[in-house]
Amino acid sequence: MPLIKIRDLHFYRGDRAIFEGVNIDIHRGKITAIMGPSGTGKTTLLRLIGGQLHPHQGTIEVDGQDVHKLSHRKLYELRKRMGMLFQSGALLTDISVFDNVAFPLREHTDLPESMIRDLVLMKLQAVGLRCARDLMPSELSGGMARRVALARAVTLDPMMIMYDEPFTGQDPISMGTLVNLIHRMNEAMGLTSIVVSHDVEEATEIADYVYLLSGGKVIEQGSPVELKRSTSQWVQQFMQGLPDGPVPFHYPGVDFKEDMLNPEVLP
């Protein structure tokens, strides 16, 4: 049985449809990549899974529980077992790296301070930032902030982690570090990972399974190898990053020649 089961998901923002009948299965212990062009609602999907947004139709089940039918308390119980890595890191800016990683432990457990220290240092060691524990979030680079956020996301030993665009805006070194970390964390901790991304190369490198979203639907799904062999022109355009194809370079509208020679707009 998959850990996350999304069935017939519909979601609208105003009149604009973000999802129209999306079905996705996320399997336990695997890294699943959700890819698609900007603005296809990949982040929205994570927020729907986390219960921060409500779908207009359809269901999302996490570990057998329908997320949007849970009571406030049950939802918060479930969230303790879900980690999420935000694009910005979402670290609390008024406390240090150490306190950020300790935050979930202090909020949810009554562990003594000495044990919290041990746990936090272990998590920080895993992301290579044990000695940066006294820094404030404003003193971290973007890549370091994400690593701290990753350490914080796993402090409660969740069953799954959702990564929101983990590779965006990273230099090659921290990109490599993050790719490596996500892969290693998944193996070592027996996690289930969902990676939302549009960095084709990095995402396909670590993903076991890929869903391609566009226009509110799942366009293609399969292992990275299968997707690269896909005969769909759209998939090929996305995977190879071609500037023109089924997704046009030009925003749709009237013909260029007609537009230039249109006398109506002349003063």
Residues lying near another protein in the complex (CB under 8 A) are found at: 47, 50, 52, 76-77, 79-80, 82-84, 86-88, 90-93, 103-104, 107-108, 149, 152, 156
Shortest separation between residue 9's beta carbon and another protein, angstroms:
19
62 has which bridge partners? 4, 65
Please report, to the nearest 10 degrees, the dihedral formed by the alpha carbons of residues 124, 130, 136, 139 taken in order. -110
CB nearer to another protein: pick between 137 and 224: 137
d(CA 139, CA 142): 10
Q: Is the dihedral of CA 47, 48, 51, 56 positive or negative?
A: positive
Structural contact between residues 50 and 241, judged by C-beta atoms closer than 8 angstroms: no
CB nearer to another protein: pick between 56 and 76: 76
Q: Which two tokens stand for residue 45?
A: 């999907």
Shortest separation between residue 76's beta carbon and another protein, angstroms:
4
What is the number of alpha carbons within 13 Å of residue 185 lying toward its C-beta?
Answer: 34
d(CA 8, CA 217): 10
CB nearer to another protein: pick between 98 and 238: 98
Shortest separation between residue 259's beta carbon and another protein, angstroms:
29
CB nearer to another protein: pick between 6 and 160: 160
d(CA 221, CA 139): 40
CB nearer to another protein: pick between 3 and 218: 3
Shortest separation between residue 50's beta carbon and another protein, angstroms:
5
Shortest separation between residue 53's beta carbon and another protein, angstroms:
11
